[in-house]
Chains A and B, each alone.
Chain A
Amino acid sequence: MSDPRDLVMRLDRITKRFGALTANDAISLTLRRGEVVALLGENGAGKTTLMNILFGHYVADDGRVEVFGEPLPPGNPRAALAAGVGMVHQHFTLADNLTVLDNIRLGTESLFSRGASRATARARVEALSRDFGLAVHPDARVGSLTVGERQRVEILKALYRNARILILDEPTAVLTPQEAEALFATLRRAIAQGLSILFISHKLHEVMAIADRCVVLRHGKVVGEVATAETSGAELAAMMVGGEIALPEARPATAGKVLMRLDGVTTPDKGAAPGLKRVTLDLRAGEIVGLAGVSGNGQAALADLISGLILPGSGSVSMDGPLARWSPREAIRQGIARIPEDRHKTGTIADFTLTENAVLEGYWQTGFSKAGLMDWRAAESFAEGIIAAYDVRCPGPAARIRLLSGGNMQKLILGRVLEPGPKIILANQPVRGLDVGAIAYVQSRLIAARDGGAAVLLISEDLDEIMGLADVIHVMSEGRLSPGFARGSKTAAELGLWMAGQGFDHAA
């Protein structure tokens, strides 16, 4: 194991700064032949920055990368590819309208080359998919594939280019538990064939299952490096967050009356994103409804519907009687707190101040404006109130919100929507991309709102989050909604089957 010839990749004191922020601070790590190294860390710990440096998307301020003993020229993805480094991004880089085979060949040879080379390529792809257990039809259009299949295409693409080192960035984020298991099987075959894998994740149980060694990042620094066999999940978690942070635990609550009812609601599909398919759902006072599912299975349509952005195509939505009008403004008026999925693009306006963002949805209400004239003083004191009550770390209410971290931005949104005392809270991926402290804070606020009698709809792709918080769990798959499962009545694996689309036929 200590044979230096086994060393396939070495990162030497990689440093990368963005302004005042040091995203990577003298990070060193090594990867040996046939080894899986997990790069662990919270969001914002510097994992993705490091990967982008490795693959040549960013240029490090300091330090160097060696692959198979040769230094890798900085800022050159092509050189990384040529050196045998293959990367599978979190967001796939595939052309939907091309076949699997063409996607794999794309960029490696001319598409106008003669049939012979195409046939050779097909044979190679078929051999690779057999050898690595990556079942996918070479002539299928990528647009028609599932997310799991697309990921296989990405891996095939890397293997086709003779990658000896695979870098996987949060590969299981978009997979059901079953699909993740299949991915691990593939990775084990790859190791057996002498490949090396760098596996980026923040999910501990996966890391424990697949990795030989873990490198833990925190605030851009390596804070620990341990062999997986000699550590435990708890120890890794403590290393990641730098001490114990207890996540809030939701005590079961008794649900009250129905505050919003969706009855057989169908909405049109939006491009590749499915709309709702005859969805029936009750949101009750004092209850957190968790919506699990693989991303892109209709959650966006449900969120848009409740946010007021779209209208039901058929079926009905009622709150104290059927809704006569429906729009974002009407949703706010009806007491719906909306925490959007994308706080940068949808939830805030980057170049507006905290004050302006705080009154973004309420500026028209008396108190913030009168006869069309803004009362900026009232708006500012509202923002100051949120900053104090929700612990928003910022230079002040006049600062632009783009200067805030994701967690502080989310706290401002939270204050904006919770301060009016909403009846219903739509929390769409409320903790995605936040650090552990902010996650605990946001979740405890949601629980407190539920205990105060609000109905909460929590949409998340993180099954652990759903299982930890929700009183009732529904699963969405291709726009269909599963029956509600009471807290603790289903295991993750059982929910995973629903996420993969099984069970709906019997239920329907």
Chain B
Amino acid sequence: MRLDPIAAPPLSRQIGLPALALVATLLVAMALALIAGADPLATLGLIAKGAFGSKFAALETLNRATPLIFTGLAVAVAFRAKLWNIGAEAQLYAGAIVAVLLGTGALGAPLVLPVSALAAMLAGALVLLGPVVLKTRLGVDEVVTTLLLNFVMLLFVSYLLEGPMKDPMGMGWPKSPALIKEARLPRIVDGLRLHWGFALALIAAVVVWVIQSRTTLGFEMRAVGQNREAARFAGMPVNVVLVKTALLSGGLAALAGWSEVAGLKGHLSSDLSPGFGYTGIIVAMLALLHPLSVVLSALFVAAIFVGSDSMSRAAGVPTYIADMLLATALLFMVLALMLTRYRVVWK
């Protein structure tokens, strides 16, 4: 078996293969449901119903998609410049910590929301700055440093919640005090459980898209990602670009944690994120690193999670099916992506 590169993949291939990947994912989902002893088609139906079947379900999906859009954007921005930020989880918690620090009375309205949002971005950016400086100065692999920082950060959060940030009224639970009302993100429409974090995430996606396609920084980030040697030769300040990319990426990931605390939970606990930082990698890859597609892929991923939860209650198929589905979706998408650019020759 050999792979022959295709110089200019036709549009049919570029659209058809990812679509095929989606179909293949659904087929795998049906097979999994069959193994679990449920009716495959009904299971898929239940997932869809659980995700979008009611106003409540749809809003839940949008809420779940919000942090995924932020972490997906964070990863997409970094990966586009070939900066392998695996540490969105750590940056997310940095944002969440700042939301609590500034949101529990340190600042009042109207400053608290904008200031804590910016401070959260700064904190997330700083968390990623260390690994990037180590990379540009000493050539330390950022995959390792950003990944390991996730665990450092989670332990740091545990320490805060057991110590300085512990809620005195928490009945012994490791959680922070609740945010004051002024520090909470309001709901978009009264009575509907959807907060402004979602709108902010959509705006962030558009802003990132504009940065990448319309600014000199975006041009530099793409050039550095595509061909570092050519970018350097052309006079681009490669290391500066990497640092700027890191600041943007870390800031975006931090907004995920900030909006979860300020918009949804109202306090910080060590189970704030069920791996949003890692899932952000899947979201970004499914979106082929395009910032606008990140929104769609985050909605898809959120729908699978939310839908699987409710399907599991109804059909008795374990919720692990959600993880399996995402994994297969990612694998098929990566495969489809490769097959758009290469033709397989059997010999």
Contacts and interface: CB of A to CB of B under 8 A. Distances in A.
Nearest to A330: B235
Nearest to A342: B229
B232 interface: yes
A125 to B, nearest CB: 36
Contacts of A364: 216
Contacts of B223: 349, 352, 356, 360
B227 interface: yes
Interface in B1-24: 2, 4, 6-8
Contacts of A356: 219, 223
Interface in A1-43: 18-20
A105 interface: no
B214 A340 contact: no
A363 B233 contact: no
A345 B230 contact: yes
A329 B216 CA distance: 15
B13 to A, nearest CB: 13
A352 B236 CA distance: 15
A369 B347 contact: no
Contacts of A402: 7
B226 A351 contact: yes
Nearest to A351: B226
Contacts of B226: 349-352
Interface string A306-318: 0111000000000
A303 to B, nearest CB: 10
A267 interface: no
Interface string B208-224: 00000011111100110
B234 interface: yes
Given A360-B223, A372-B216, A374-B219, A403 B234 contact: no
Contact of A332 (B8, B222, B235, B237): B235
Contacts of A309: 232-233
Contacts of B230: 345-349, 360
A360 B227 CA distance: 12
B233 A372 contact: no
Size range of the interface on A? 35 or more
A374 B214 contact: yes
Contact of A361 (B214, B222, B235): B235
A388 interface: no
Most buried by B among A20, A356, A363, A376: A363
B136 to A, nearest CB: 16
Interface string B179-221: 0000000000000000000000000000000000011111100
A338 interface: yes
Contacts of A403: 7-8
A205 B232 CA distance: 40
B209 to A, nearest CB: 13
A152 B218 CA distance: 50
A26 to B, nearest CB: 20
A158 to B, nearest CB: 26
A328 B6 contact: no
A369 B214 CA distance: 9
A489 B8 CA distance: 50
Nearest to B2: A59
A507 interface: no
Most buried by A among B2, B7, B218, B230: B230
A361 B235 CA distance: 6
Contacts of A332: 235
Contact of B227 (A59, A308, A350, A374): A350
A232 interface: no
Most buried by A among B2, B217, B223: B223
A59 B2 CA distance: 10
Interface string B228-268: 01111111110000000000000000000000000000000
A178 interface: no
B233 A346 contact: yes
Contact of A349 (B4, B218, B227): B227
Interface in B98-149: none
Contacts of B235: 308, 327-329, 331-332, 361
A19 B7 contact: yes
A75 interface: yes
A508 interface: no
Contacts of B222: 352
A106 to B, nearest CB: 26
Contacts of B237: 329
Interface string A430-471: 000000000000000000000000000000000000000000
Interface in A65-95: 75
A338 B9 CA distance: 32
Contacts of B2: 59
Contacts of B214: 373-374, 376
A347 B217 CA distance: 20
A293 B226 CA distance: 33
Contacts of A331: 235
Nearest to A359: B219
B6 A345 contact: no
B216 A328 contact: no
Given A372-B217, A373-B214, A338 B233 contact: yes
Contacts of B232: 309, 328
Given A338-B233, A347-B233, A18 B4 contact: yes
A329 B214 CA distance: 21
A465 to B, nearest CB: 23
Nearest to B220: A363
Nearest to A307: B233
A400 B7 CA distance: 10
A374 B6 contact: no
B347 A75 contact: yes
A356 B226 CA distance: 12
Nearest to A347: B230
Contacts of A400: 8
Given A19-B6, A328-B234, A361-B235, A346 B216 contact: no
Nearest to A327: B235
A369 B216 contact: yes
B218 to A, nearest CB: 8
18 contacts: A19-B6, A328-B232, A329-B236, A340-B233, A345-B227, A346-B229, A346-B230, A347-B233, A348-B230, A351-B226, A356-B223, A360-B230, A360-B231, A360-B234, A369-B216, A373-B215, A374-B215, A403-B7
Interface of A: 18-20, 59, 75, 307-309, 327-329, 331-332, 338, 340, 345-352, 356, 360-361, 363-364, 369, 372-374, 376, 400, 402-403
Given A329-B235, A356-B219, 8 more contacts: A19-B7, A59-B347, A349-B223, A349-B226, A349-B230, A360-B223, A373-B216, A374-B215
Query: Closest 7 interchain pairs by CB?
Result: A329-B235, A328-B235, A361-B234, A360-B234, A349-B227, A349-B226, A346-B233
